[in-house]
Every structure is written in structure tokens, then in C-alpha cells.
Amino acid sequence: MKKFINKTDDILTESLSGFALAHHDLVSLNLNPNYLTRKQKATSKVAIISGGGSGHEPLHAGYIGYGMLDAACPGHVFTSPTPDQMLAAAEAVHADKGILFIVKNYAGDVMNFEMAAEMLPFESATVLTSDDCAVINSTYTTGRRGVAGTVIVEKCVGSLAETGADLQACKALGDKVNSRIASMGVALTSCTVPAAGRPTFDIDDTELEMGVGIHGEPGRRRETMREADTIVTDVVTAILDALKPASGSEALLLINGFGATPLMELYLIYNTATRLFNEHGIKISRSLVGNYTTALDMAGASVTLCLLDDEIKQHWDSPVHTAALRWGA
Amino acid sequence: MNSSFILTSADAIQDAILQHESELESLDRAIGDGDHYINMKRGAQAIVEMQPELAALTPDAVLNKIGMKLLSTIGGASGPLLASFFMGMAKVIKEKGNTSITSYASAFSAGVDTIRQRGKADLGEKTMLDVLIPVANQFTALAAQNASAKEISTALKLTAEQGMLSTKDLIATKGRAAGLGERAIGHIDPGAKSCQLMIEAVCNLIQ
């Protein structure tokens, strides 16, 4: 393992401290329990709180700020945060209209946020994101995993909350956006969890993992490495199978890097994916390309398609001012 | 079961987790995401460090504090599940007292039920419950037959081991391996393994 580390146990604290210093105009950091909030506390709105294991930066702290999150709770690397973090964050950002938790659908995250919601002295609701269509038999299992599409849910719900909308309206929009998103990822290398010190999974130079999760969990199958267009074709096909969009649909296309794949390749993927979706009659009218939901140092990328309507477009386009997304503000 | 037995068990559990580092890590790398050992180690260490403040408390208070500590220390899925187990046990010990093997068995079963409810999982889903449910059932049955502590601990160790091994041939429908489908077959569930190790460590203390 070759990483910029002082002591493994200190990585999270030192990284969070650096993030808070770099973005001191936007966020405040609290340690023990760990949570980050907006620098300026918002008033009279639904407070949007997300969180999850660390290692997916800029998710979630990078999305704290006007138009998106009020607070984020980072757990240990790839490990859900704990209820005391959510309770303290909720106490800090509660602004009289309840708390909306946005939670990626993993057993640990769901249970920790559920226990926090049970202990919370405020009204709360939860949006579970589950955009990863790589997981087969979704009715049979705990369901699809929440991955990069979470960013789109956080952006849209965050925008609605700024208008003073109530808790149920924010939850309803979050659920709607989530239901219109499908994502699938491909890994070319494994990631290495610092405390483990070695790659999470073994993968040969001639192989790829189709449908990989954002923790390096195995996906649909191990395949032979091949040219980009055929890989992207398989991913796009899986997304179309999951969403079954009508011809003429308008969509947002997000190409997300997992941490160790250069932008040059992400734009190559965007080029191919756009052409393929266009061939299926889908008009790509919004785009996002970059590292938005990473898996530490994994090489690979995911493709996310979100079917738009006027409401989702309005909330995607509205001003946002966070460390990782900023436009119109 | 007095408070000092719970604290001795915490030491034994920590030793068992530490001794099986490579096994727990490789199981989790195969069908999970590689953090199970680190999380269990962090939890065990936190409980062992609490011993001075726990020593003077009643058993139900000790169990409850252990649950709260695990809840704020482990994270992931194991955190809320193990926390629920200890808090579920604490509730029964507080209500029914702490005098007989029967009361220990019903407390253990209550802890396992709390895990079942929190995780919305059941037997046969390739999780820690494949160890815990058979152990709870056998514990209850043997306690009702007035079996001795030694007989019970010997039997439960074996049942825990069988339960752990049974996860090898299961498809996961709960937990992080649930996305794997048939690819999870052939691998023992890491949560089942760590539960079996903890049960074995506590049973070994009973002479």
C-alpha cells in the first residue's frame, strides 16, 4: 500500500480537518461525534442530512451548502456513521421544519439512520437511494444499492427545501427522483482500505468487474478486459433495461469516476454513452462528468441516467453553492 | 451471571477477535467489503476500555452500557445489530432478574429477537442469525431440561459452529453480500463467523 498517510487511525480526522480548512467559508466541522454543517445555519426550512462511510469523497460533505445539504455525517472508511453523529448533527441544523435523512440503501446505513430517527426529538423522514441496477433479484434481496445517483437526489431535494417546502414534499421529491435513476459501475482495479492495507479484491490486469459497488463489492460478473465502447454498451444496456425509458425521454447523464480513472477517460465514456442513449431516442440535456461518488483509489467509473421532467430539471438547474457542485450562486 | 463475568467475557471476546484477524478479513474480502474485522476489533477494544466504569454496575446496566457503546463505536451493520442484542438482553435481565440459567436463556433469546427485528432478517439468509437463532433455541431447550452450565456451554459451542458452517452453502439475501447471488455460495459469512467466535469464547469460560 502506497498512500499519503501519517497514522492509519488519524486519516479520517486529518482529512476532515483539511476539508473544513479548505472550505472554511462553507462548512464547520465538529469532531467526536463527527459531523459537518453549513457555516451559516439556515432558518425555517427542512434540514437535509446525509451521511455514510468515508472514502466516497466528495460525497457527502462536499455537498453541504446552499441548495443541497445542511449537514453530513462521515463514518469510518466504508462503514456507516453511528446514531450519535446523526443526533448531534440534527440538533445543530434543525430549523423548525423537521429533518430529512438521505441514506444510501445499505443494511448498515439504513439501521443506523433508523435508530437515530427513533431517538430524534424532531419530526423526520428518510429517502433511501437505490439507483444501482447492477444488483440482480432486487425484490429478493435487500434491494438495489445507493450509489452515484444519490448526488442527483441530494441536489434536487436540497433545492426544493430552500423554497420552504415541507418535509413530506421534500421526501416525495426525493423518492420520485430516486425512482427515475439507474446506475451501473465497472471496476478496472480494486480499492485499498487504509486500515486493511491491501486491495479489497483481487483482479487481474486482463479483467474487469462488471456492476461493482462503491466499496469494491463484487457486482454482476468478472469479465475479460476489452475496448471501451463494448464495456459502455453493456452498462448502457443494463441501465435501459432497468429504466425502460420511452423514446423521446429527456435525461441527465452522469459519468462518475471511482477515484483513479482520469477525466480524459470519463469524457471518452460520456462520448460513447451519449451516442448510445441517443440511438435509443433519449435526449441528453443535462450532464455531469467527474469524481462525485468515489471508492477510494479504485480505477473505474459508473454511468448514471436520470430521467428528467420539468420539476426535476428546475431543481437540478437551481443555484447551488457547495465545495463540489457550484453554479448559479 | 454477575457483572464481573460479563467483563471477563469481554476480554475473552477481544482475544478471540484478535486471534482470528486474517480469517475474518479474508472472509469479508471474499463476499463483503473488507471492514468487518476492523469494526469488530474497534468495538471489542472500546468495551474492554470501559471496564473500570462498568465494574460497579448491575448486570443489566452493564449490558445496556455495552450496547450503547457498541452503537456509537462500530458503525456499519454490525454496530446496531450487536447493540440491539445487548440492549435486548439488558431489558430481560432487568425485568426477570438474574438468578437462573433459565433467565440467562430467555435474555439471550430476547437479544437474538431484537437483532432479528432490527435487521429484518431470519434463519437461512447467510447472516449472524444462522448462528444465533439455533444457539438461542438450544439454550432455551436445555435450560428448560435443567441441564448443567457445562453441558449447555459444550452443546452451544457445537451448535454455533454448525450454524457458522451452514452459511457456506447459502445465498445471501440480507447484508452486504446480498448483491452477489450465487457468487456468495462457498463462502462462510463473516458476521456468522465472528458471532461463533464470541459464543465459543464465552462458553470456554464456563467450567
Percent of chain B with pLDDT over 90: 79
A21, A22, A28, A32: CA torsion to nearest 10: -60
ipTM: 0.83
Q: Which of B35, B81, B125 to mutate to test the interface with A (most CBs of A within 10 A)?
A: B35
**Mean pLDDT across chain B, nearest whole number?**
92
Which pLDDT tens digit goes with each residue over B71-123?
Answer: 999 988 899 999 999 999 999 999 988 778 999 999 999 999 999 999 999 99
Q: Residue B33: is its pLDDT beyond 80?
A: no
Least CB–CB distance from B75: residue in A79, A134, A145:
A79
B178 with A193: Cβ contact below 8 A: no
- Please say whether the beta carbons of A194 and A1 come within 8 A: yes
User: Could you tell me which CATH number the domain at A181-313 has?
Assistant: 3.30.1180.20
- Residues present in chain B in total: 207
Could you tell me the mean pLDDT of each successive run of 10 residues in chain A, 329 residues long? Answer: 94 98 98 97 97 97 98 95 97 97 94 95 96 69 85 98 98 98 97 90 94 87 96 98 97 98 98 98 98 98 98 98 96
Chain B: residue whose CA lies nearest to A86: B72
Residue among B154, B141, B133 at smallest CA distance from B203: B154
Q: How large is the angle between the packed helices A107-119 and B78-96, nearest 10 degrees?
A: 50
Query: Is any Cβ of chain A less than 8 angstroms from the Cβ of B23?
Result: no
DSSP codes of every residue in B73-109:
HT-TTHHHHHHHHHHHHHHHHHHH-S-SHHHHHHHHH
B79 with A80: Cβ contact below 8 A: yes
Give the pLDDT score at B179. 66
Q: Identify the three-state secondary structure at position A309.
A: coil
Instruction: Classify domain A8-179+316-327 by CATH architecture.
Output: 3-Layer(aba) Sandwich (3.40)
B178 with A77: Cβ contact below 8 A: no
The domain locations on chain A are 8-179+316-327, 181-313
Chain B: residue whose CA lies nearest to A73: B75
Query: Is any Cβ of chain A less than 8 angstroms from the Cβ of B129?
Result: no
The domain locations on chain B are 3-203
Residue among B92, B79, B70, B66 at smallest CA distance from B5: B66
User: Which range is least confidently modeled, B10-14, B151-155, B171-175?
Assistant: B171-175
Q: Give the cell for residue B141.
A: 431447550
Residue among A171, A97, A169 at smallest CA distance from A128: A171
Give the pLDDT score at A138. 44
Pairing of strands A71-77, A45-54: parallel
Q: Residue B32: is its pLDDT beyond 80?
A: no
- Using the Cα atoms of residue A16, residue A18, residue A23 and residue A25 in order, give the sign of their dihedral: positive
The set of residues, in sequence order, having a beta carbon less than 8 Å from that of B84 and lying 6+ positions away, is: B67, B111, B114, B115, B117, B118
What fold does the segment set B3-203 form as a domain? 1.25.40
Least CB–CB distance from B75: residue in A76, A135, A196:
A76
Annotated catalytic residues of A are 56, 215
Which pLDDT tens digit goes with each residue over B166-203?
Answer: 999 998 887 667 767 777 888 999 999 999 999 999 99
Phi-psi region of A307 (alpha: psi -120 to 50; beta: other; left: phi over 0): beta
Give the pLDDT score at A136. 61
Give the pLDDT score at B24. 94
Which pLDDT tens digit goes with each residue over B130-148?
Answer: 999 999 999 999 999 999 9
Query: Is any Cβ of chain A less than 8 angstroms from the Cβ of B173?
Result: yes
Least CB–CB distance from A82: residue in B72, B174, B178:
B72
- Please say whether the beta carbons of A52 and A44 come within 8 A: no
Residue among A322, A325, A316, A312 at smallest CA distance from A64: A322
- Please say whether the beta carbons of A47 and A96 come within 8 A: no
